[in-house]
Amino acid sequence: MVIIDVQERLLPVIANNKSIVKHSKLLLRCAQVLSIPVKYTEQYPKGLGPTVSDISDLLPPETPRFEKVHFSCYDEPGFIDFLGNERRQIVLAGIETHICILATTLDLLKEGYQVVVALEAVGSRQEEHNLAALKAASQCGALVLPTESIVYQWLNVSGTPEFKEMLPYFKEQ
């Protein structure tokens, strides 16, 4: 899972920003319960600030962070090494959908990755830009899924200790 650019100076101007944080946190919690690798990026943090504390406080201190200036994470030198080659499916959350999420999605698809975009955990300043980018990503082969669908796909079965650990978070939704 990669969380893209959910930063202090950018998040407040994003439509549905509270939902983006809420759903990103649900994905993060499930990823931690299931030991799914999580990484995050920051676009020009000197200007846009660090990742918002609601997200960064949930990240273990050793969580890999990648600083970038390219809109597509893939175009940033070193990103493929940062991403690693242990997984071919990448779940994306973050902002902005029509810029960094879409550009990264298209590049990852071109390189043979399966890309899953978490529907409520991405956003843009204008909702119509978000919707257009989600449609384009889907038409190009990305899976655009509700966050809850991603979590349940990860969990796979009810009744497990991991499922029970996630129950309180489902009730928050």
- Residues catalogued as catalytic: 5, 68, 100
Backbone angles phi, psi at 170, to 5 degrees: -65, -35
Which of 169, 107, 98, 166 lies closest to 141, judged by CA? 107
Query: Which positions ≥6 away from 87 have C-beta within 8 Å?
Result: 37
Structure tokens at 115: 């890309």
Taking a C-beta distance cutoff of 8 angstroms, is the pair 40, 50 a contact?
A: no
Peptide bond into 96 cis (omega under 30): yes
Alpha-carbon distance of 82 to 67, in angstroms, equals 10
Helix or strand holding residue 60 (H, E): none
